[in-house]
Chains A and B, each alone.
Chain A
Amino acid sequence: MNYFNTLPLRLQLRELGKCSLLDPSEYNGVEILKGKKIVIIGCGAQGLNQGLNLRDSGLDVSYALREGAITDQRQSWKNASENGFTVDTFDKLVPTADLVINLTPDKQHSNAVSQVMPMMKEGACLSYSHGFNIVEEGMQIRDDLTVIMVAPKSPGTEVREEYKRGFGVPTLIAVHTDNDPKGDGVEFAKAYAVGTGGHRAGVLMSSFVAEVKSDLMGEQTILCGMLQTGSILCYDKMIEKGIDAAYASKLVQQGWETITEALKVGGNTNMMNRLSNPAKIKAYTLAEELKDIMRSLYERHMDRIMTGDFSEEMMKDWANDDADLLKWREETNALAFEKSVPTTDEIDEQAYFDDGILMIAMVKAGVELAFESMVAAGIKAESAYYESLHEVPLIANLISRKKLYEMNRVISDTAEYGCYLFSQKSVPLLKDFMSKIETDVIGAGLTSDSNGADNQQLDTINRKIQDHPVEKIGVILRDYMTKNRN
């Protein structure tokens, strides 16, 4: 039963709009968690690294794993024990826990939580790092339990590395309005965030609803979907026009990562500034065109996520043993790009920009469209930023290391499913647009060497890029993320 759909509009809007950056004065250290027993379910990258941080912050952490993982001495058991943690079965540890942190893979949440809930003691707290189970699956949690979410917006290793440096990674927290019996859910969430170092890089107070709806949108559209579609279209176009296949392969595979490195540091503005004046004008024009063509598709994705139709369709496939998911995954393996072999020659970093004008246009268009669609649906700018622009470099890095098939295989099934839906629609949608594309914007770079431009035109474009809301909020948030503000 989709929880979001049970809410009246008034509450849907309230939950979607919950979003505020915490002020340094609002933290109370880890006081409320001192002396309490924390049990983490699952020991993957997030589980292990969050546990290491919490323990180093002075808290009592142990790991509860499935019986099989312990008796078989699997990696999760090995890593927890190797680091000196107590590891035991659910029934031994969960009843003693004051805070149970569910860090199992998203798809297993229903299972894991159903198993664990009956064992939890009266008035304990349950934490998630993603809200799908609560919002889309409508999991019902015992009335006496407090339900919170603490979601660091970085891979597990980075959560640990930044903590050890004396810093942290931006973190999202939320309290499930239906499960906050003592009204202290937010205090638990804040203390947990402080324990992992999140408070130093910026904590965003959000809601389960906002987190899920924006997370699903981002991953399907700009993160995985757009990069998948872009890879296919750009590679195929270059081959069609006679660009050397090995060069085309590497340009695409490493290109996303190279151009989004600029995005990571300074948003669309910095990424576009890497181009020459004429190239920037071209990229801007292409991006505007792309936005016009794809706007309705992005909005459709957002709409289906809001209504719950997306989750419903996907969960039907889950029940069907992931038939569609696996079929589409194999189709990815058959793509020309996927089978291509990249050149071993070095490509100069600037060349990725100069020869990848279309790729830059696609990233800019995708980021802005995803952001705009989320905001139009009631999600606030900060949340939209974290689920659109912020995560792009991560997926770009995955593609750079592993290409599309592996990228899809390792990301969550939810992201993968959404990615295929987006790609299946967007590739044909862009057919006409792509038929007019030449190699000057993908593969070979502009033919003229001149860097001249019309001042008026250039200035207008520069201002339009910087003035987009995703850039404005980006400047503020990136500042937070790179240093603590006193």
Chain B
Amino acid sequence: MQISIENLFFPINQKRSLRIDNWFLSEGKSALICGANGSGKSVFAQLLSGKLSSASGEIQFSRPDKLASVSFELEAEILAEDRYHNDSEFMEGGVDHGRVAREIIGNGENLTSICDLIGISYLLERPFKEISTGEARKVLIAKALIKSPELLILDEPLSGLDIKSRQEILELFNSLINQGVQLLLFDFYNEELPTSISHLVYLFEGNIVLEGPRKDVTQSSKWKTYTGFQIQLPHHLPDCYHYDQLDVDCPFVETVDLEVAYNGKMVFKDLNWVFKSGEHWRISGPNGSGKSTLLSMISGDNPKAYGKDITLFGIKRGSGESIWDIKQHFGILSSSLHRDYRVSVTLLEAVVSGFYDSIGLYDKPTESQWRIGKEWIELLGMKGREQTPFSALSFGEQRRVLIVRAVVKLPLILLLDEPCLGLDNKNRSLVLTLIDYIATHSRTHILFVSHDYRDELKCLNKSLEFVSGGDYYRAAISNIY
């Protein structure tokens, strides 16, 4: 399919616009479209997939109905539709599980072969809103492929996928290209992007600044100017007067033979885990192995924790403590928190809500809490945008804000579940540097989940890995040196 663009203009935010005067993609040519956070990548992807209409200018496709797309926004839309049609109030049992994966994917004669290829046949009857990040991504890819598109627009398709899934999807992309499907893959530039796509388009502050064969572009002198960055370590962390008065000799978390099952299917079993002072953990494992479940169980967010032998801060769960007593010791960032953060607050209010562990702001913060919030916002490079509505920020920007929200009270435990999803290389590096800094300069302990090979934290000294034990997963615990 040919694509031709003329005089395309779209405002990204108050200061920046996407501006593409002339662009042409020839028949059958795939391309990587890269750029940092705020470069206009997502806006461009949404304009191409029809989600947004341009303020002016034209995009012409030679065969517009042979186009399909995959993006975070799509996932959010599907969830919003399910929420709208939620019939819980009128159903026996009071729970509406929403559409299952099969319903999201849709119908097509190649349904079985696509699902086999992507490896999601096992979850077709599972509710879409209840599957893991990576699983949801795969379902969206299947949904796009079911229409046998000529052109596939992919907005960060690999984020949140475990190593195995990432390899599978990369192979899938390579084979699709061999079959003649055109891929337009939007992502932050990294070496892992499919090698079968050799054409690279680089966006910077809303304009196409570099374009050509990948090798040539990345080795050009201009490349360094556009992609180079330096991270400065903070002088000191914003001072937080509230310190956790907990007995440090008491383990934070202790589980005995912990197991979790959903609808009768066991996810993991026999988890005996002790998390003590001085430890920073990496939690890893395949998509759907129970990483997020485990973390939500100890942070007070998962009802599955009741009735299990879990001791938090010396108190056994189910002893009459409220989840708010537990949450005060945690600063949390996870995909489900991000999904649920749909309230109308400003950037600053979202950050300060971290002091109260709430989604939205329902208390009256003190002067020093506002001040500390602002200092953190500056540290993460977002000064001047405090009054921007949270919902108006891009996915990556929202992520950064939620990271700040998690750290703002310098919690005893910082629980980060795929924190760098949606962040470009510079911001990723900034966030990771900051986390390492926090770990070494405060009493905060880190619990970290990530599939991304680029996510290296020097502070991590323990590892919990979910490995396959046949019908369910088991945990392998070790030290990191």
Chain A residues with CB under 8 Å of chain B are: 30, 34-35, 43-49, 52, 55-60, 74-79, 82-85, 155-157, 161, 164-167, 200, 401, 410, 483-484, 486
Contacts and interface: CB of A to CB of B under 8 A. Distances in A.
A406 to B, nearest CB: 9
A43 B93 contact: yes
A130 B307 CA distance: 31
B85 interface: yes
Interface in B339-381: 340, 343, 353, 356-364
B306 A79 contact: no
B121 interface: no
Given A34-B320, A56-B300, A82-B263, A48 B359 contact: no
B93 A165 contact: no
B258 to A, nearest CB: 13
Contacts of A483: 361-362
Given A48-B94, A75-B91, A165 B364 contact: no
A66 to B, nearest CB: 12
Interface string B298-321: 001101111110000000000011
B362 A200 contact: yes
A157 B88 contact: yes
Nearest to B95: A79
A165 B303 contact: no
B92 A44 contact: yes
**Which label, helix, strand, loop or mixed, suits the secondary structure of the B interface?**
loop
Contacts of A156: 88-89, 94
Nearest to B307: A84
Nearest to B319: A58
Nearest to B360: A165
B221 interface: no
Could you say which of B93, B304, B363 has the most chain A C-beta atoms within 10 Å of its C-beta? B93
A79 B93 contact: yes
Contacts of B307: 84
A77 to B, nearest CB: 8
Contacts of B308: 84
A75 B362 contact: no
A57 B322 contact: yes
B129 to A, nearest CB: 12
Nearest to A83: B303
Could you say which of A30, A58, A486 has the most chain B C-beta atoms within 10 Å of its C-beta? A58
21 contacts: A34-B320, A44-B94, A45-B88, A45-B90, A45-B91, A48-B93, A56-B322, A56-B323, A75-B91, A82-B262, A83-B304, A84-B306, A157-B89, A165-B340, A165-B362, A166-B353, A166-B356, A166-B358, A167-B358, A401-B84, A484-B362
A75 B358 contact: no
A43 B88 CA distance: 11
Contacts of A57: 322-323
A419 B413 CA distance: 54
Across the A-B interface, give the 3 residue pairs with the lowest CB-CB distance, nearest first: A166-B358, A75-B93, A45-B94
Given A58-B322, A157-B89, A486 B363 contact: yes
B89 A35 contact: no
A440 B47 CA distance: 37
B72 to A, nearest CB: 21
A410 B343 contact: no
A99 to B, nearest CB: 15
B218 interface: no
B174 interface: no
Could you say which of B90, B305, B361 has the most chain A C-beta atoms within 10 Å of its C-beta? B90
A486 B364 contact: yes
A157 B358 contact: no
B2 interface: no
Contact of A166 (B92, B93, B325, B362): B362
Nearest to B94: A45
A412 to B, nearest CB: 10
Contacts of A484: 362-363
Given A43-B94, A75-B91, A83-B303, A166 B323 contact: no
Given A84-B304, A157-B88, 5 more contacts: A44-B91, A57-B322, A165-B360, A401-B85, A483-B362
A35 B91 contact: no
A74 B86 contact: no
Could you say which of A47, A82, A486 has the most chain B C-beta atoms within 10 Å of its C-beta? A82
Nearest to A76: B93
Contacts of A78: 93
A45 B94 CA distance: 4
Contact of B357 (A157, A166, A410): A166
Contact of B303 (A46, A84, A157): A84
A387 to B, nearest CB: 18
